[in-house]
Amino acid sequence: MKKTNTFPKFISLILLIFSSTISLTVEAQNKRTLAYTLSMSQPENHTFHVELKASGWSQDTLSLKMPKWMPGYYQIMDYAKSLENISANDQQGKKLSIVQSNENTWKLTGAKNKTFTVSYDIKTKRQFVANSYLDSEHAYVICPNTFLYVDGFLNTPVSVKVLTNQPKHVIATGLDKVAGKSNEFTAPDFDILYDCPLLIGELESLPSFKVKGINHQFIAYKMGTFNRDLFNENLEKIVSSAVKIMGDIPYNEYTFIGIGPGRGGIEHLNNTTVSFDGTGLTTTASMGQVMNFLAHEYFHHYNVKRIRPFELGPFDYDKGSRSNLLWISEGLTVYYEYLVVKRAGLMDEKMLFNNLEHNINAVENNNGRFYQSLSQASYNTWKDGPFGTQGEEVGKTISYYDKGPIVGLLLDFAIRNASQNTKSLDDVMRLLYWQYYKKLNRGFTDAEFQTACEQAAGLSLANVFEYINTTKELDYRKYLAFAGLGIKEEIELNGKRKISIARLEKPTPLQEQILKSWLGE
């Protein structure tokens, strides 16, 4: 009898079993499901009902968490306080243990290899762009305020079904629709889910328009009575003006979603939700104001959603994502809001100066400028709020919404002057977009932002960056002069300073060139 060596066969068998085990494990992970059903049978109680059906989990105990905030609104919102009546069952109807372990976490036991359902209610109270709200006529759903996530599994795909019980209700959202279904949606992960609110009701839409072949549309609840054709024409000009700065559209379609009553606006990757009532759009001034607002929220899809500080993604939904750079995300967006509207032909020079003067005078009449820098205001917004503390420390803080655009203006003029008007802040924003978002797929640091500005200028801008990191007083005359502009100052009867911007009488050719290109003329 011939002797054979069975060891290699044994090894091959072990490797086969090991490989199969890994394959099955990966397959099981890929089959994890999280499917939410949102219903609203109690609109008179302002209460949503949520059912989460899940399966494919190899863990016995899962931590279900509700975010404490939402990206785009940098405040702790404590969304878990709105959650009530939570329970869990397996597919046979047997109750599973689900116990709240801290202010925004519930421990679910008995999930391993089971299909289970978690049910709970979301009580809504406040009509605000960063809160969910339900009444008898419409629903506004902030996903971080509504859908629990499984701790450690934010990358899990998710589906959402909406039950409205109202045949005339339609749904506006940035989520991907399930083919053939008007009320079912999917997201590849929770960052995308949490980035896409839903507005539900008898909504009205303006005709869609294309920019670079991409569809854009305005849809709203209680849109109001106004010149809709003019509004839509202006909105198309806004989008075209902003796209021209970057030279790229990174989404497949974009929706402006007017939520009706409420306050504020929140930016998202392919949509924005804004408080809106068109009834008041009866004057040039009121139309201009809302175009500024929409330009701001639209430009955010570039600046903060894609051109972002490195801290803003991946997000920390528990603690918040603190950054020194919100003055760029918000302050520079205010600055570009003005430029976008001006370059769209919807704002004249006087209106542009008036907007900047408003920010300058807000800064100069706030003693907080002696106590808090722009970078500190950015980092402390979680405590102070975006407009500065209004309580005990009033007068000790600033708003990056006011000082941010003014520092952006000075920085822009410094770059234009140093480069003989061959470069501007536009070039910096494009570099950040193409280098860090498109190529590296990450945010930028404080140092990388300064380097980008100095590369455009061709020299050190340390003096300008002192305005960001210290409380050094702003030298308006020096930097505005680069564009042939000066300031006038007077003291009002109430003792406040009033600063205005005006053209210099005898500008140099370079000053004229800088001013003309800055104005987009």
What pLDDT digit, counting tens, does each position of 336-383 carry? 999 999 999 999 999 999 999 999 999 999 999 999 999 999 999 988
What pLDDT digit, counting tens, does each position of 142-195 carry? 999 999 999 999 999 999 999 997 889 999 999 999 999 999 999 999 999 999
**Mean pLDDT, all residues of the chain:** 92
Question: Is 170 found in the same domain as 246?
Answer: no
Question: Is 424 found in the same domain as 349?
Answer: yes
The DSSP bridge partners found for residue 49 are 39, 121
28: in domain: no
| C-alpha distance across the termini of the chain, in Å | 97
Question: Is 114 found in the same domain as 263?
Answer: no
Q: Look at residue 262 and tell me whether its pLDDT is greater than 50.
A: yes
Q: What is the CATH number of the domain that holds 466?
A: 1.10.390.10
308: in domain: yes
Tell which of 183, 200, 217 closes a domain.
200
Question: Is 213 found in the same domain as 192?
Answer: no
Q: What is the CATH number of the domain that holds 43?
A: 2.60.40.3650
Backbone dihedral angles phi then psi of residue 398, each to the nearest 5 degrees? -125, 170
Q: Which of 337, 154, 175, 394 is nearest to 269 (CA)?
A: 175
What pLDDT digit, counting tens, does each position of 107-117 carry? 999 999 999 99
Question: Is 119 found in the same domain as 260?
Answer: no
Question: Is 478 found in the same domain as 366?
Answer: yes
Q: Look-up: residue for tokens 């430029």?
A: 339
Question: Is 214 found in the same domain as 157?
Answer: no
Question: Is 361 found in the same domain as 259?
Answer: no
Question: Is 448 found in the same domain as 309?
Answer: yes
257: in domain: yes
5: in domain: no
Q: Look at residue 390 and tell me whether its pLDDT is greater than 70.
A: no
Tell which of 217, 251, 286 closes a domain.
286
295: in domain: no
Sign for the pseudo-dihedral over CA of 299, 300, 306, 310: positive
Give me the pLDDT at residue 110, please.
95
pLDDT band of residue 6 (cuts 50, 70, 90) is: very low
294: in domain: no
Q: What is the CATH number of the domain that holds 275?
A: 3.30.2010
Tell which of 200, 224, 240 closes a domain.
200
Give me the pLDDT at residue 238, please.
98
Span 491-497, average pLDDT: 88
**What is the residue-wise DSSP string for 5-58?**
--HHHHHHHHHHHHHHHHHHHHHHHHT-EEEEEEEEEEGGGTEEEEEEEEE---
**What is the residue-wise DSSP string for 172-231?**
EESSEEPTT-SSEEEESSHHHHHT--EEEES-EEPPPEEETTEEEEEEESS--SS-HHHH
Question: Is 334 found in the same domain as 281?
Answer: no
Give the number of domains in the chain: 3
Span 59-79, average pLDDT: 95
Question: Is 454 found in the same domain as 354?
Answer: yes
Question: Is 213 found in the same domain as 170?
Answer: no
213: in domain: yes
88: in domain: yes
| Residue span of the structural domain in which 443 resides | 303-519
What pLDDT digit, counting tens, does each position of 267-276 carry? 999 999 999 9
Give me the pLDDT at residue 165, please.
79
